[in-house]
Each structure stands twice: as C-alpha cells, then as structure tokens.
Structure 1
Amino acid sequence: MRKKPIVSLMLTVALLFAVVAPVGARTPEEILADTQYLYDQIDLLEKSGQSYNADVSSVFVDLNQLADKTITEVVYSPTYTDTKTFQIPQLFTQQQAEQKLIQYVLGNIANVYRAEPLNTEISGKIYDSQQSVAFYVYGPQTIQAIDEIYLGIPNCFPIEYDRSSGTSKAKTPITYPVAEEVVEKIDTPEAKELLQKIARTAIFTINNTTFALNNETVTMDVSPYVKDNRTYVPVRYLAYAIGVKESDITWVQDTQRVTITHNDTTVTMTIGSKTMLVNDTPIEMDVAPEITDGRTMLPARWLTEALGADIEWNQEATQATITVQEQ
C-alpha cells in the first residue's frame, strides 16, 4: 500500500494560524517532542494494522463513494467507535476533497487544540490506495479533539477560504463547540485568551423561544421581537450568545440599569433611555431598552456591536445572526 507522507501541523505554517499559542504554553521543544511521539505512534499503528491505541485515537474519512457525493467517517478510540455516512452538497474530485479535509482539520481545528491550555496534537495522513484520509490525535484533550473533528467534518465541504493575502482564512466563521465547552471550564489567563479566539455564531428567530448557538439549541423563556425596525433580544441570552459569563451581567433594580462586561469592554444600558455607556463613554442609540413580560430586552445590534461582535439581519427568514469572529 503506497502512503503519502504525514500531513502534519508543521505543514500548516503556510496556512493561516487562526490561533497562536500564548505565553505560558508548552515550549517549542515540548511541542516538538509531542509531535514526534504522535508520528512514532502512527508508525506503530500502521505496522500493527491498528487504528488506535491507549494514547492515540483517530478519525478515518472514506472517500470511495465520492462520485455519489457520499462520505463515511469512522472514529477509532479506546472509549468508543462510531460510524457516520453523510452527503456532501456538490461533486469534488478526490484531490479536492482531500484538500478540504486537510484545510479544515489541520488548518483550523488543530490550531485550536495545539494552543494552551488544550495542548493536544493532531496529524493527518492520506492513503491513496484506500481512497481515505486519516486524522490522528494525541494529548490531554484527545477525545474532545476527536469529537470536534467527527462533528465538524460533515459541514466542512461548503467552507470557502480567502487566499488573497497569501494566507488562508475561512470566509465564514468556523466554530469549535467542543473546545469552547472545555475551555469555558478552565479558569486561567491562557484559557480566557483562547476562548476569545474561538468563533461563536448565534441565530435568533423572531417570535421563537429557541436559538441556535454553534451546534447547540438553547431554549429561552421569552422570544425576540421587532419594534421600531430594531430586533430586541432578552439580555441574558444575548450576552450568553456573545460569550459573556452570567457573573459579568449586573442588574440594578433601583436604577433599572443593566451592566455587561466582556473582555475589556463594559456596556451599561438603562431601561427607557437611549443613552448607552461604553467604557463610560455615552453613545446615543435610536431605540431604548425595555422590559417585556418581566424580562429585560435590549436592542441586539447596539449591544452586539459595542461588544465587538457582528450581526446580520435576514429579512426573509426573520433571523438575526450574531458572530463573534476569531481574532
């Protein structure tokens, strides 16, 4: 069986590193040692005809039915094995499909998981004779990285990349729901820095009490609505969609004032007032926050943009999409 050389993270230097390991992460020597260990384990797995061992798990992507726009992926790990078959939106050659997979996993997911505090290595290998691509994972977050890959691969084929600047960056934000869930539970400066770099996308639909956050469906106790051509969303769910912690939202009943802090920005809004304070700088809005059914409702665009996120309105679907871009 002829095998192409390992397609490793080292080769993604030519791609855009969306996440760079911050100060306090593993040393270059430690990263190199972990990477070499993963390479050695892959060699051992191939010689023994195995797909995983106690340290390394893998996801194999079968491209044999590519002509029918059908792809199968299989997880191999000590904790579970699973298989998923799915359809892709258009025909790709084998080389194009391989490029899509490598770009998505090694150019995006691997950069997130390599960073502190996840410290997990991902490598890839193309097997021409089997018409498949394999991704191998080693590190403290192996199962989480495997889940991220397995969850994301079916959605990676429509992603387009902008290479005009000599690097490669996804034209639409890529989300990492598994990594985000892990990092949110870690209270370190490195975890907070990484969390800021992971894109989040939330979709609120008018008169609907659920909204989509990455691959999660969240249920609210009040639905968004439109008033004076502005979308109003309940403050706690809007803040949660952007990535604000519950502890960073303060409500003062006496003054009817809500304060939201995210990263280095503090936004204060008062019920009935069109003046919003952003780091104590007054900004005049064209609408005011209000209370509806006992819930504080904020104009989504004003708060979203004040906290550094993007918002787009789809009139036909009556949906507001909020995106916190990768930095």
Structure 2
Amino acid sequence: MKKIVSYILFALILISTNMVSAQSVVTINGGKMIDNRTLVPLRSIFEELGATVIWNQNTKTISATKDTTNISLKLGTKTAVINGQAVSIDVPAQIRSGTTLVPLRFISEALGANVKWDNKTLTATIEQNDKTILVKV
C-alpha cells in the first residue's frame, strides 16, 4: 500500500511540475506612455496572443482575428470595432518609429487576456491561458 501511495505522489509531482513549466513568458520592449496611457506594439501582442494580423495600407486599418473574435482599428481614430460592435478607446492607434501602437488594456482585453500594470517598473503584464507577456515601457 505504501508503494502505491508513493507512486501516486510521485506522479502528481511530475504532473504539477509539467504544468508549471508549460507557462510561456515573453518580454516585449517598445511600449510607450502617451497622454497618460500605455500604448503597446499591436502586432507583437496580438501575435503572441495567437491572433492573425492584417494591415491595409490603403485604408490605414489593422484587422486582427483570433478564433471567433474579429477586431478592426483605423489609425488616428478613437473607435475600434470588435465583432461588428463599435468600441471607444482613450487614445487612437498610431504609428511611432514604424510600429503601430495601441492602448494596452484595449488590445489585451479585446482578446480576453488579463492585464496588470506595475508603475514602479513601468511594466505591463498580460496573461492569457498558458502565456504571460511582459511589456516594458
């Protein structure tokens, strides 16, 4: 009986160790503080969260799709569209140094991720399932 309990405990430890190591952590630099809001590189975040991103140069529109979620943002506007519904954002999507930046909380929550901000280190943490993305400002 002791042997069976020992095997079960050993198996549980192996399983829990594998679950912890399955967590993926990625660090992305390039976040900016603009108008007291944190803006982050759209493509980097969306792709890390598993979305497909398309840029339309003619209309200056970014489209992203993940599973059944469709998001559209037009540069310079404070309105985004999520699954056909217009949503207001505090700061418009914009290009800085060749990178499209969008509001951190909007981009993350639009794809169902959780967001935390650490003012001391100027780092945003985006968590979704087994993925953690650290965005440095």
Q: TM-score range by the shorter chain?
A: 0.7 to 0.9
In the TM superposition, residue 242 of structure 1 has moved relative to its aligned partner by 1.4
**Does residue 313 in structure 1 map to residue 117 in structure 2?**
yes
**Does residue 238 in structure 1 map to residue 42 in structure 2?**
no
Matches within 5 A, 1:112-191: 152=21, 175=23, 177=24
In the TM superposition, residue 106 of structure 1 has moved relative to its aligned partner by 2.0
Which TM-score applies when normalising by structure 2? 0.80
Preserved CA contact (<8 Å) 1:202 1:321: no
Seq. identity, %: 28
Gaps of 5+ in 1: 9-97, 111-148, 153-173, 178-200, 210-222
**How many angstroms apart in 2 are the aligned matches of 1:275 and 1:287?**
9
Say if 1:288 and 1:258 are closer, same or farther in 2 by CA, change over 3 A.
same
Q: RMSD of aligned C-alpha atoms?
A: 2.6
Which has the larger strand fraction?
2
The code of the aligned residue for 1:4 comes to: K
Gaps of 5+ in 2: 131-137
Count residues in correspondence.
Answer: 128
Which has the larger helix fraction?
1
Q: 2:12 aligns with which of 102, 105, 111?
A: 102
User: Matched residue of 1:109: which SS?
Assistant: helix
The code of the aligned residue for 1:292 comes to: R
Q: 1:324 aligns with which of 100, 104, 128?
A: 128
**How many angstroms apart in 2 are the aligned matches of 1:108 and 1:325?**
17
Say if 1:202 and 1:301 are closer, same or farther in 2 by CA, change over 3 A.
farther
**Does residue 297 in structure 1 map to residue 101 in structure 2?**
yes
In the TM superposition, residue 109 of structure 1 has moved relative to its aligned partner by 3.4
Per-residue CA deviation, residues 284-306 of structure 1 (Å, 9 max, x unaligned), is 11111001112211112101101
Preserved CA contact (<8 Å) 1:238 1:300: no
In the TM superposition, residue 271 of structure 1 has moved relative to its aligned partner by 0.5
**How many angstroms apart in 2 are the aligned matches of 1:310 and 1:325?**
10
In the TM superposition, residue 107 of structure 1 has moved relative to its aligned partner by 4.5
**Does residue 271 in structure 1 map to residue 75 in structure 2?**
yes
User: Matched residue of 1:106: which SS?
Assistant: helix
Preserved CA contact (<8 Å) 2:116 2:125: yes
The code of the aligned residue for 1:109 comes to: N
Matches within 5 A, 1:178-257: 201-204=25-28, 209=29, 223-244=30-51, 248-257=52-61
In the TM superposition, residue 278 of structure 1 has moved relative to its aligned partner by 0.2
Matches within 5 A, 1:44-55: none
